[in-house]
A and B are shown apart, each in its own frame.
Chain A
């Protein structure tokens, strides 16, 4: 129990720091909703149980850390709007990643790509609901491409980090 608290606390810290780093990067490609999504590194690693034991892959852990990260980062670096959008994206993303994690088709990178695309489609759906304008459809292809690239980035980093996490912490990390 206390081990789990410590572990999740660490992951939450990493996710929050990455949120902060991301808010510092002056990255505005001119199309709204596009960012690297670095904090999802922590979520993806948690989803895969980080210790490499896929059976222990913690959907609950990933969901909990992501929720806390979104609320905390929203109040620290964002606004209520950004919390709403982030939540919508996170729910879609986690759902899709859970689904595809069970299939032996994709690696953590492929699952992360699907998560990134799902995240952006979730946010897109909320924006469509809020604005009710057909003009939004114009953004969809850009958001799909951005989700793919961001998901790949996070997936590749997770792929590189996972063996080290396994080695360093064994079962307790």
Chain B
């Protein structure tokens, strides 16, 4: 046993050979993130069960809009956010609005308790490629436009503070 450990250590000198420590590191990283993801998923589900969730829009740190999400109902709504030097403007519409060509915008689509970013003119379009969000705590963030579209549910702020504590 002692001999094996010794030869393992000598082999560990070559950086181009797989070490046991690599496996341990990878398993630890994946287990840690999986545990956190599971924790978040359970949290989101239990909060969603506590009643109505809201879609809340923030520009920089200011709340600029709040929309109730109706789970399982035939809700269909478009939310157009446009930006000028003075700030952000929010417009809701039942039909898909045409997007402006003279100023920046994000277009959100609400249906079946899910929120999707369907269009934007930001350079990377990361927000448009984002998965739909539905559970409290989830968000779509458009960094170039400094827009956060987040789902809030019952007892949300408490849960986020708790999460803050866990992650730190």
Contact = CB atoms under 8 A, between A and B. Distances in A.
B34 interface: yes
Interface in B1-44: 12-19, 21-22, 25-26, 29-30, 32-37, 40
B19 A107 contact: yes
B30 A145 contact: yes
B26 A148 contact: yes
Given A30-B131, A131-B141, A141-B40, A159 B16 contact: yes
Given A108-B15, A145-B34, 20 more contacts: A81-B124, A81-B143, A81-B144, A101-B15, A104-B12, A107-B15, A109-B22, A110-B19, A130-B143, A130-B146, A131-B148, A134-B163, A137-B167, A138-B40, A138-B137, A142-B37, A144-B29, A145-B37, A148-B33, A149-B30
7 contacts: A106-B21, A107-B19, A131-B148, A133-B150, A135-B141, A144-B32, A159-B17
A54 B144 CA distance: 41
A31 B126 CA distance: 8
Contacts of A25: none
Indicate the size class of the contact surface on chain A. Answer: 35 or more
A158 to B, nearest CB: 8
Given A52-B16, A138-B40, A144-B33, A30 B130 contact: yes
Contacts of B22: 106-107, 109-110, 113, 155
Contacts, number: 133
A105 B137 contact: no
Interface of A: 28, 30-33, 48, 52, 54, 78-79, 81-82, 101, 104-111, 113-114, 117, 127, 130-138, 140-142, 144-145, 147-149, 152, 155, 158-159, 162-163
B70 interface: no
Interface residues of B, number: 45
B83 interface: no
Interface string B132-145: 00000111010110
Contacts of B37: 141-142, 145
A110 B141 contact: no
Contacts of B163: 134, 137-138
Q: Which 5 A-B pairs have the closest CB atoms?
A: A30-B131, A141-B36, A135-B139, A110-B22, A28-B129
